[in-house]
Amino acid sequence: MSSNPDATPAGATPAEESVHPGSTDPRGEVVIVASSNHGKLAEIRSALPFAHWRFSAASELDAEWPSPDETGETFEDNARIKAVACRERFGMAALADDSGLEVDALDGAPGVYSARFAGPCATDAENNARLLLALADVPDAERTARFRCSIVFIAADGTETVATGTCEGRIGHEPRGEHGFGYDPLFLPDATPGRSMAELTLAEKNEISHRGDALRNLRSELAGE
Ligand code: IMP
């Protein structure tokens, strides 16, 4: 922890592995992740095992920090909005992702509106019910879909790296499985015939998911592969 309390910005709360914006941390460069989702953070840590990096969630540094409105027209736009806001707030390298579901029979919807397909405060169950209704008359062969993820990483010097990932599949006819979140119970990945995304373990999902794919692509980009 820094011995200089003045380095802590107004509203910031000390995190378990405390870091202070603008400071040099002897344990490595700090990358702020614009998310409060601990599952995502763990996934990012294991996918980007660069020895000189340490990841901290924006919410750990400042519980009051309001994540910006996701007003972009693409996943990349939204990831950039979050990464830029995070870098401006904390003055350190920042990483943000944005993802969602594209259904071919719905011309790519729900897309960037995935979280609010059934309304502004919709639950996962409500979004899934709306999706099933929208596809009620669509035959199996036309229920193709994919998850997409875009990640924007902004290094401490301002250099931006963008990586994307996809996971192809189809939309089933009823929810199946207990794992995951969002549209996982309705999504039947091509890579796991006979099982919905919600029937996969977390490790199995990470292997084939859009986010796992984007993180592997980001790792290759950053490693210069
Ligand atoms: P976010 O980018 O993680 O905020 O995701 C936005 C929305 O897309 C979520 O609320 C879900 O509805 C959907 N979504 C994104 N990733 C997944 C996933 O891995 N499984 C299921 N739904 C997802």
Q: What's residue 10's pLDDT?
A: 36
Amino acid at 201: T
**Is the distance from CB of 169 to CB of 189 less than 8 angstroms?**
yes
User: What is the CB < 6 Å shell around ligand 1?
Assistant: 98-101, 114-115, 127, 147, 180-184, 209
Token pair recorded at residue 74: 């693409």
Confidence (pLDDT) at 16: 37
* CA-to-CA dists, residue 106 to 110, 116, 144, angstroms: 8, 15, 10
Task: Answer whether CATH 3.20.20.10 is correct for domain 5-222.
Answer: no
CA distance 79 to 192: 28
Compute how many other C-beta atoms are within 10 angstroms of the C-beta atom of residue 181. 11
Give the chain's mean pLDDT: 88
Considering the candidates 62, 98, 184, 213, report the single residue annotated as catalytic. 98
| pLDDT at position 151 | 97
Dihedral over alpha carbons 182, 85, 40, 60 (to 10 degrees):
-120
pTM exceeding 0.75: yes
Amino acid at 165: G
Residue ranges of domains in the chain = 5-222
Find tokens 């009620």 and name the residue: 136
Q: Which two tokens stand for residue 203?
A: 């490790």
Q: CA triplet 45, 32, 20: central angle to 5 degrees?
A: 120
CA-197 nearest atom, ligand 1:
20
Is 98 tagged catalytic? yes
Residue nearest to atom 14 of ligand 1 (CA): 100
Q: How many angstroms is it from 147 CA to the middle of ligand 1?
A: 8
Nearest CA to ligand 1 atom 10: 115
Instruction: Report the distance separating Cα 61 and Cα 63, nearest Å.
Output: 6
Nearest partner of 65 among 113, 10, 106, judged by Cα: 10
pLDDT value of position 160: 97
Average pLDDT of 129-152?
98
Minimum-distance ligand 1 atom for the alpha carbon of 115: 10
pLDDT tier, 27 (very low <50, low <70, confident <90, very high otherwise): low
Q: What is the pLDDT of residues 174-198, one digit of tens each?
A: 999 999 999 999 999 999 999 999 9
The pLDDT, as a whole number, for residue 36 is: 81
Q: Tell me how far apart the alpha carbons of residues 55 and 94 are, in angstroms, rounded to a whole number.
A: 9
Bridge partners (DSSP) of residue 57 are: 33
Dump pLDDT digits (tens) for 56-106.
999 999 988 888 999 999 999 999 999 999 999 999 999 999 999 999 999
Closest ligand 1 atom to 37 CA: 3
On the question of pLDDT at 9 being above 50, the answer is: no
Two structure tokens written together for 185: 């119970």
Dist. CA 123 → ligand 1 center (Å): 12
